[in-house]
Amino acid sequence: MLQTLESEVGSGRTEFEIGEYMTRLTADIISRTEFDSSYEKGKQIFHLLNVLQNLCAQASRHLCLPGSRFFPSKYNREIKSLKSEVERLLMEIIQSRKDCVEIGRSSSYGNDLLGMLLNEMQKQKKLGNGFSLNLQLIMDECKTFFFAGHETTALLLTWTVMLLASNPSWQDKVRAQIKQVCNGEPPSVDHLPKLTLLNMVINESLRLYPPASVLPRMAFEDIKLGDLHIPKGLSIWIPVLAIHHSEELWGKDANEFNPERFASKSYIPGRFIPFAAGPRNCVGQAFAMMEAKTILAMLISQFSFTISDNYRHAPVIVLTIKPKYGVQVCLKPIEE
């Protein structure tokens, strides 16, 4: 991606809609990481999940009667068809892995994310544990990794570039630290924890533009939450966007870009929901954060960027928070 940008800047182009580049890059990364040799089929699955996401988002803008999701309407048939096609493609990949192991062509299901899940499922079966992964859970996890490693990461990168382009002093601070820590080398796993300023900027970007504006959860058992009794089966919606912009929690500058708040000793982690709550998403979140830090560090090292005059600030919610008209930035190579 960086070579493409460098080539286009060299040919005279200065303005770029950075979201397009981030979307293609993260799709490429998660396709190879999750499906490895089934990369092309992975891209097909991601396209279908994007269409399905946009359809599902329409439901939140319409009044729904109880039980209406079971009506054989065109909308419901389309959602059902897309869901079936996604699961059919996933099952093809899974069955292909299983066949290779069963006929002895391979000793494992692979070392990509899907392979790790299948290997764990086989291990749990041999141990005879009470809870074990099944194929439906594995398919659900593959979809979760899509959103954690592709959709939300692309949006995090896009919004962060917009904020740094609008705040050049912070861009300069982050670039200086990257140069000091990485010393001209591509960022490694050892470098990432030392990029504290970049981490503060990413957290502030996630606070202002959380990829998920709400988190729906269902209670699997009766629980007590403060003075509230939450019965089993109740659907709970956590208003992430409202929490992240609460003046009571963040102060009078709650709507302003201020990464310093994440360096403060008064910062309370419980105020902040970076990607999604719940242990099942922890691996996806860790992977997404490493991915985002690496990409941003490399981009900031090679280019300085400013907001284009053509940029129109219009965040919209389509399950995730997206820039309606994209994010146009002007890129300039960093002179060594």
- Per DSSP, the residues of 177-238 read HHHHHHTTSPP-TTTGGG-HHHHHHHHHHHHHS-SBS-EEEE-SS-EEETTEEE-TT-EEEE
Residues belonging to the binding site for heme are: 282
- Whether 60 has a pLDDT exceeding 60, the answer reads no
Residue 204 in any domain: the answer is yes
Does residue 113 form part of some domain?
yes
Residue 8 has pLDDT above 80, yes or no: yes
Distance CA 5, CA 208 (A): 27
Higher pLDDT: 266 or 34? It is 34
Least Cα distance to 196 among 169, 210, 177 occurs for 177
* Residue 285 structure tokens: 């979140």
Indicate the annotated binding residues: 282
| CATH number of the domain that residue 242 is part of | 1.10.630.10
Q: How far is CA 87 from CA 93, 127, 179, in A?
A: 10, 27, 45
- Predicted local confidence at residue 69, as pLDDT: 59
Q: Which of 303, 259, 295, 5 shows the shortest CA–CA distance to 155?
A: 295
Which band of pLDDT confidence, cut at 50, 70 and 90, is reported for residue 124?
Answer: confident
pTM of the model: 0.81
Residue ranges of alpha helices (H) inside the chain are 2-10, 18-35, 39-59, 74-102, 113-127, 135-146, 152-166, 168-182, 196-208, 240-244, 247-250, 282-302
> Does residue 225 carry a pLDDT above 50?
yes
User: Which of 61-75, 204-218, 280-294 ranks highest by mean pLDDT?
Assistant: 204-218
Contact 56, 48 (CB under 8 A): no
Minimum mean pLDDT among 9-13, 60-64, 272-276: which range? 60-64
| Contact call for residues 35 and 93 (beta carbons, < 8 A) | yes
9 lies in a domain? no
Does residue 6 form part of some domain? no
Residue 7 resides in a domain: no
Question: Would you state the pLDDT for residue 48?
Answer: 85
| pLDDT value for 278 | 44
Task: Summarize pLDDT for 40-56 with one digit per residue, the tens.
Answer: 777 788 788 878 877 77
pLDDT at position 86 = 85
Residue 121 has pLDDT above 70, yes or no: yes
Residue 282 lies in a domain: yes
For 23-38, the DSSP string reads HHHHHHHHHHHHHGGG
Q: Does residue 5 belong to any structural domain of this protein? A: no
As given in the structure block, the two tokens for residue 206 are 């996630």
Domain count, the chain: 1
Q: Rounded mean pLDDT of the chain?
A: 85
- Say whether pLDDT at 197 is over 50: yes
Report CA Rg, the chain.
22
In a domain, 112, yes or no: yes
Over the stretch 272-326, which tens digit does the pLDDT of each residue have? 777 654 444 556 677 888 999 999 999 999 999 999 999 999 999 877 899 999 9
Domain of residue 184 covers 18-333
What are the residues facing 317 on neighbouring strands? 321
